[in-house]
Structure 1
Amino acid sequence: MTDRASLQAVLRHDRLLILGGLAVLTLLAWGYMATMAVRMSDAPTGMLAPTWGVSDFFFAFGMWSVMMMGMMLPSASPMILTFAGICRQRDAGTPVMHTALFVSGYLLVWVGYSAGGALLQWAFHALALLTPMGASTSPLLAGGLLIIAGIFQWTPLKDACLTGCRTPMGFLMAEWQPGGRGALMMGLRHGWNCVLCCWATMMLMFVLGVMNLLWMAVLTAFCLIEKIAPAGDRVGRTAGALLVGWGVWLITSGML
């Protein structure tokens, strides 16, 4: 077997191992969210107290963290696999540990975002703007979130961050740092880029329900299409226009 063939065989092995790990994490996250959704739908007032305490915040924080992992890992997979391939060729030894550090850095940023999401849910809950399943009860709130998310799809910041997600090789070549610390730092950097790209889209969970599994699946598919489809950027801008129209309709209809 030639050296090139040997490298390709090793890369395939790494890719399968990493894909398997990502699939397990994603399935565990979705399984947890499905269990929580069923339990909350069966409870008359949900699983959160009418007046939140510290324990309710941490419950929501954990729920958001798992939800972000399940929703964002699929669209991050091309970047993660590209990182693993480059790591195998640049750094000696197996790239699996460095890839685990990269993924940990990526998810750590989304955990920070989840803390913000839980705080917002706490505030909306205190103002009686959410149902027990986390859906907006206010056309003004729902419409406002839709309009913000729609407008953001057309901003230069969105375009720049999405370009980073859509071109894994270019992103990694520009950000490459060797070793385990470098892997963690690159994961953090990619996580930050991804949060800047998708923060407004994830806020749409408050429109139809934080625990709405169908809504979660739609947004997960949308993020995946944006990042990997040939015309994903155009799909995103088209969706932005539709979101603005939906938001305007909700607000105006709520005022009638």
Structure 2
Amino acid sequence: MPHLRPGAAAPARPGVLLPRRELAAGWTLMVLIAVLAWAVTVGQSRRMAVEPGTMGMAPPLFLALWVVMMAAMMLPSVAPVAITWVRAIGRHSAGPARVLRITGFVSGYLLAWTAFGLLVYGVLAVTGRLVGGSPAAARWIGAGAFLLAGLQQFGPLKRICLRHCRNPMFQLARYARYRRWAKDLRVGAHHGLYCVGCCWGLMIVLIPLGVMNVAAMAAVAGVIFLEKLWWRGPWLARAVGVAFLVLAVLAPFQGWLLPGLQEAPMGDMDMDMGPAR
């Protein structure tokens, strides 16, 4: 039986990327950040009604809230890749340089989701105008969103990106050959784009369900986590795709499935304005 020198760390088991202690510390940090992001998201959702369109937010405010939402929903599922890359950073840098490199990686990842958030903002603005002009359009917009999401779950882009997110080690080895300039920013952005490619269909169902619908966000976040980390994740992706296609068929006839495309009651819109005088 091999003996370890006093103070030496136990080697990682085969198939485990990091020692248990480092995994536990990394997961704890990622979960804490996600919990804080969820707290901000839930707090903001209580001040806003679930309604179509951009909910009166200007692009900068929407994107700021969107980034917080993405941190809440995505960080737990991206934790294995992030922890592995951060450990690699720690081997080659220390002190302020390490902090800058980690910041670059996280910024690159969130930059990819920010770009997607800008697209979502444009879609929300258009849907808000359409629903405002013709409330009946909500049913078909919702059906279209569910249809796109369902088809995405079976498409080649989903398959390729999900495979990358579930088995990123080949790509991480490739990242090691990147040139030093903005390396970590590029790595984070590249991995973030794979996540966008994998999860954009799941995100667009928030348009009919409500962008500030916390229950819907939590359900989507749970699906993303299981798709990426559960051994039956690909099977789950297909099952969710079937569910979305069923919702696409039902949406034109069941308006209650589309809370995010229903105009908020006047009482909800005025709830933060105090009693009328």
Please give the secondary structure, in 2, of the residue aligned with 1:5. coil
Structure 2, unmatched stretches of 5+, are: 13-17, 256-277
Q: Which residue of 2 aligns with 1:52?
A: none
Please give the secondary structure, in 1, of the residue aligned with 2:231. coil
2:105 is the counterpart of 1:114:
no
Of 35, 39, 49, 1:31 maps to: 39
Question: Which has the higher Rg, Structure 1 or Structure 2?
Answer: 2
Give the alignment's TM-score, normalised by structure 2.
0.75
Q: 1:21 to 1:101 in 2, by over 3 A?
A: farther
Asked if the contact 1:75/1:224 (under 8 Å) is kept, the reply is yes
Structure 2 distance, partners of 1:110, 1:65, is 7
Q: 1:160 to 1:31 in 2, by over 3 A?
A: same
Q: 1:43-122 to 2 correspondence within 5 Å?
A: 48-49=55-56, 56-88=58-90, 91-93=92-94, 97=99, 98-122=101-125
Q: 1:167 to 1:137 in 2, by over 3 A?
A: same
Q: Which residue of 1 aligns with 2:272?
A: none
Structure 2 distance, partners of 1:123, 1:163, is 33
Please give the secondary structure, in 2, of the residue aligned with 1:79. helix
Structure 2 distance, partners of 1:45, 1:216, is 16
2:215 is the counterpart of 1:214:
yes
Q: Which residue of 2 aligns with 1:183?
A: 184
After superposition, the C-alpha distances for 1:152-184 in whole angstroms (9 at most, x for unaligned) are 111111101000000122221233237573222
After superposition, the C-alpha distances for 1:57-101 in whole angstroms (9 at most, x for unaligned) are 332222222212211111111111122344445x35479533332
Structure 1, unmatched stretches of 5+, are: 50-54, 131-135
218-227 or 107-116, larger mean C-alpha shift: 107-116
154-163 or 27-36, larger mean C-alpha shift: 27-36
Structure 2 distance, partners of 1:45, 1:185, is 34
Q: 1:28 to 1:92 in 2, by over 3 A?
A: closer
Q: Which residue of 2 aligns with 1:228?
A: 229
Structure 1 distance, partners of 2:124, 2:110, is 20
Deviation at 1:137, TM superposition (A): 7.1
Q: 1:27 to 1:181 in 2, by over 3 A?
A: same
Please give the secondary structure, in 2, of the residue aligned with 1:40. coil
Flag the structure with higher helix content: 1
After superposition, the C-alpha distances for 1:92-119 in whole angstroms (9 at most, x for unaligned) are 5479533332222111111111111122
Q: 1:48 to 1:219 in 2, by over 3 A?
A: closer
Q: 1:137 to 1:23 in 2, by over 3 A?
A: farther
Q: 1:117-196 to 2 correspondence within 5 Å?
A: 117-128=120-131, 138-176=138-176, 177=178, 181-196=182-197
> Partner letter of residue 143 of structure 1?
A
Q: How many residues align?
A: 242
Asked if the contact 2:26/2:79 (under 8 Å) is kept, the reply is no
Identity %: 28
Asked if the contact 2:52/2:210 (under 8 Å) is kept, the reply is no
23-32 or 185-194, larger mean C-alpha shift: 23-32
Structure 1 distance, partners of 2:245, 2:53, is 30
Asked if the contact 2:54/2:125 (under 8 Å) is kept, the reply is no
> Partner letter of residue 113 of structure 1?
F
Asked if the contact 1:68/1:114 (under 8 Å) is kept, the reply is no
Give the alignment's TM-score, normalised by structure 1.
0.81
Structure 2 distance, partners of 1:225, 1:201, is 13
Structure 2 distance, partners of 1:129, 1:229, is 41
Q: 1:235 to 1:46 in 2, by over 3 A?
A: closer
Asked if the contact 2:105/2:184 (under 8 Å) is kept, the reply is yes
Structure 1 distance, partners of 2:198, 2:126, is 24
Structure 1 distance, partners of 2:19, 2:103, is 16
